Structure 1
Amino acid sequence: MISQGNPTRVVLVTGPSGAGRSTAINVLEDLGFEAIDNIPFRMIPRLFETETLSHPLALGIDVRNRDFSLARLLDLHQDLIRQTDGNATLLYLDCRPDILLRRYSETRRRHPMAQAETPEIGIAREIDLLRPVENRADILIDTSHLSPHDLKAELHGWFADASSQRLSVALQSFSFKRGIPHGVDMVFDCRFLANPHWEQGLREKTGLDEAVQGFVASDARLAPFLNKIVDLLAFLLPEVDREGKTHVSVGIGCTGGQHRSVVVTERVARTLAEQGWRVSIGHKELARRGIAPAGGVVLSGLGGTEE
């Protein structure tokens, strides 16, 4: 049972099979919801038996649930509205029957309500069964002509808010000698900067040491280089965020991945965090040597740091 006044937001996601429920669940999870798909009705009360939930909750409800019933779904919606002080939403994803049929034809899957019959029959049965739920829905989205990207944008409009998890930016320094890291979205090369490796007292140190940071900062080209990187990311990141992407990975490399790339990564990361972005810092070469944590460091976007 959910305690009265519990601020937890709960979204019930349902609709005919093939209308985009799984996509919606994934989008809500990216927005910071704890998402559970195809959960049996009998299991739902257990989610609220312990302490207050720290994240909003998205529950995918499907006719394939073994204990599914129309009455139980409608009753659950009403109970959640009452128990969350109105903070429960029934999201219904609708779709035209001909579009659903085309989607089933493309995947060649059997319809859950017509295992031994044609998909048309199952689609008609399910739409008819769910009509009362459609009529009760707080939010109804017709996905007939929406791509997964369009649906993601629509859901962001309804459910993204200041408390939602924003785009996360992963910055990692690396050594060009070992190759560009797999999966990075963009790469910056700082091998043109003055190299501390050739300074006897700095060779064994890293870009995390103040002496190395001071040496690299003495290169007059560092400041404009940092400004150009930050300016580019300041333009790109909001656009990527609006696109619905949840993660961007940026690689910053130098020859050995020990000095210059570490300094640049640290400075860019802290500037982005000051601008409000959630940033993770990783130093690939330093982690390989056991000098830096393999999991990196996360800057919360407010200047705070957590391992």
Structure 2
Amino acid sequence: MLHIDIHSFSYKKGGIPKDETGNGGGFTFDCRGILNPGRVEEYKSQTGNDIGVQEYLETKTEMPQFLDLVKKIVSINIDNYLGRDFDNLQINFGCTGGQHRSVYSAIKIAKFIEEKYGNKVEISLHHDEQHQLNHQ
């Protein structure tokens, strides 16, 4: 079974997560080119797991187009890795603080992979800066 580790992280705080499997990485997507909801007062204390932030990203930014491209790219590798019986893939999403854009992206891609591949993969979702979300 293919195990997929998905991380949201902060470029400023912790940097790109290390691949603990020994494979040397996977994908790292930079979300800093998307408008930051953290600059809007009502969203500053929220995360990408909150409805208001999600609606902002979905309606006021290019996040939907960004994630459509990410879905296409990661699907190519997941299909290939499944066909070759690979064990691990890591997918990282980084933004400035690891709170809004990267959290949202990691959640949405995890859901996409789960819906597309079901029990062919095992997904671990890690929010490196938003630890309280790791226990939901």
TM-score range, shorter chain: 0.7 to 0.9
1:220 deviates by: 4.2
TM-score (norm 2): 0.86
One-letter code of the match for 1:174?
F
Hey, what's the Cα distance between the residues in 2 that align with 1:230 and 1:279?
Answer: 15
| 1:171 pairs with 2:6 | yes
For residues 88-128 of structure 1, what are the alpha-carbon distances to aligned partners after superposition, in whole Å with 9 as ceiling and x for unaligned?
xxxxxxxxxxxxxxxxxxxxxxxxxxxxxxxxxxxxxxxxx
Equivalent residues of 2:31, 2:93 under 8 A apart? yes
1:241 deviates by: 2.2
RMSD between aligned residues: 1.5
Equivalent residues of 2:34, 2:61 under 8 A apart? no
Hey, what's the Cα distance between the residues in 2 that align with 1:235 and 1:179?
Answer: 26
Alpha carbons of structure 1 residues 258 and 220: separation in structure 2 relative to 1, 3 Å: closer
Alignment of 1:1-80 (within 5 A): none
State the secondary structure of the residue aligned to 1:194.
coil
Alignment of 1:41-120 (within 5 A): none
Give the corresponding residue for 1:237. 78
TM-score (norm 1): 0.40
Select which of 200, 209, 212 maps to 2:41.
200
1:280 deviates by: 1.8
Larger RCO (CA under 8 A, 6+ residues apart):
2
Aligned length: 127
| 1:221 pairs with 2:62 | yes
Equivalent residues of 2:37, 2:100 under 8 A apart? yes
One-letter code of the match for 1:181?
P
Q: Which runs of 5+ in 1 are unaligned?
A: 1-165, 298-307
Hey, what's the Cα distance between the residues in 1 that align with 2:42 and 2:74?
Answer: 34
Hey, what's the Cα distance between the residues in 2 that align with 1:219 and 1:200?
Answer: 15
Q: Which runs of 5+ in 2 are unaligned?
A: 20-24
| 1:182 pairs with 2:18 | yes
State the secondary structure of the residue aligned to 1:275.
helix
Select which of 267, 270, 295 maps to 2:111.
270
Percent identical pairs in the alignment equals: 28
Equivalent residues of 1:193, 1:219 under 8 A apart? no
Equivalent residues of 1:206, 1:258 under 8 A apart? yes
Moved over 3 A (4+): none
Equivalent residues of 1:207, 1:261 under 8 A apart? yes
1:218 deviates by: 1.6
Hey, what's the Cα distance between the residues in 2 that align with 1:271 and 1:244?
Answer: 21
Rg larger in 1 or in 2? 1
